[in-house]
Amino acid sequence: MAITASMVKELREKTGAGMMDCKKALTETEGDMDKAIDYLREKGISKAAKKADRIAAEGLAYVKSSGNKAVIAEVNAETDFVSKNENFQTLVDTIADYLLTNEPADVEAAMTGTMADGNTLEAYINDQIAKIGEKISLRRFQVVQKDDNAAFGEYLHMGGRIGVLTLLEGTTDEKLAKDVAMHVAAINPNYVSRDEVPKEEADREREVLKQQALNEGKPENIVEKMVEGRLNKYFEQICLLDQEFVKDTDQKVGKYVKQNGASVKTFIRYEVGEGMEKRDDDFADEVMSQVKK
């Protein structure tokens, strides 16, 4: 029988499963709503839906490259335990491969896209939720392209708590690119260079520094000079090329890269769970929640 949009909507409301999963369930059961619900339960998809309102702010940041493409992604789960789970690590690697191959525009497009086995990424993740027992979600990702005279720097800190992908041009030295990635992981700059800092941000900081100097009682005729000096310090805090290189604090990152014949095109830094609501369970509760599964 024909599967209508209203039937799919009804099944979604009853189970919380994804649209494509509901459509497949109804197709497989010839439109029988009760059998479709059982079908989703048997596949573990309803179980996944029940976890949808849980907080997933743990997980892994991951970086992977293939040829002239690289991807950085964050995949979240509910507890830090799962990030050490081999099945979860395999899931993250599988997702990275899928993202590299398909280059979806955003997370929504990624979730509805088709994997090599014909299933959607959403269906694959739901299947793994049933096996692993926690809410799992692809939070964000970015695919980066390079040419032959460029290098990716890939670095994972604390087993994937922080992931960094850098792109250096004018060199194929991956060690150099990784050194820069390690610096980014440690210092967390906001921009590559001063040119990237929005004018509004720089002007706002300049005004704050000016008021600080005036409040300190500094003469107005030297305030402007003081402000520019302090603004340089501000740029050193937020701009990668202006920062002291962590592996050699006697030189700036920009100088270090330039003397190796390269330039920094871009960097992406993901820290797991940054900006997300965190679980407030204490460690003992988290352990017990795992023991009881």
Q: What average pLDDT score do residues 57-72 get?
A: 96
Note whether residue 254 is domain-resident: no
Residue with more model confidence, 218 or 156: 156
> Is the domain of 134 the same as that of 271?
yes
Shared domain for 273 and 153, answered yes or no, is yes
pTM of the predicted structure, to 2 decimals:
0.76
Q: Are residues 170 and 282 in the same domain?
A: yes
CATH no. for residue 131? 3.30.479.20
Residue 256 falls within a domain, yes or no? no
Per residue in 264-281, pLDDT tens? 999 999 999 998 766 554
Nearest to 234 by CA among 259, 260, 212, 263: 212
Q: What percent of the chain has pLDDT over 90?
A: 65
Residue 226 lies in a domain: no
Tell whether 96 and 145 lie within a shared domain: yes
- Residue 163 pLDDT > 80: yes
Considering the domain architecture, whether residues 112 and 149 belong to the same structural domain is answered as yes
Residue 168 counted as domain residue: yes
Both tokens of residue 48? 């996944």
pLDDT in tens, 216-235: 888 888 888 899 899 999 99
Q: Tell me the pLDDT band of 7, cut-offs 50, 70 and 90.
A: very high
Looking at the fold, whether 9 and 154 belong to one and the same domain comes out as no
**Pair (28, 158) in one structural domain:** no
Domain assignment present for 224: no
Do 31 and 105 share a domain, yes or no? Answer: no
- Do 65 and 157 belong together in one domain? yes
236 burial type by CB count under 10 A (0-12 exposed, 13-18 middle, 19+ buried): middle
Q: What spatial distance separates the first Cα and last Cα of the chain, rounded to whole Å?
A: 40
The CA distance from 145 to 148, in Å, is 10
The answer to whether residue 229 is domain-embedded is no
Same domain, 43 and 64: no
* Cα–Cα dist 45/123, whole Å: 8
Q: What average pLDDT does the segment 194-222 reach?
A: 90
Residue 237, in any domain of the structure:
no
The total of structural domains in the chain comes to 2
**DSSP readout, 56-119?**
--EEEEEEEEETTEEEEEEEEESSHHHHT-HHHHHHHHHHHHHHHHH--SSHHHHHHSB-TTS-
Kindly state whether residue 201 falls inside one of the protein's structural domains: no
Q: What is the pLDDT of residue 292?
A: 45
Please tell me whether residues 44 and 167 are part of one structural domain: no
Domain ranges, residue 21: 5-50
Q: Which are the contacts of 249, defined by CB distance < 8 A and separation ≥ 6?
A: none
Q: Same domain, yes or no, for 28 and 92?
A: no
Residue 21 maps to which CATH number? Answer: 1.10.8.10
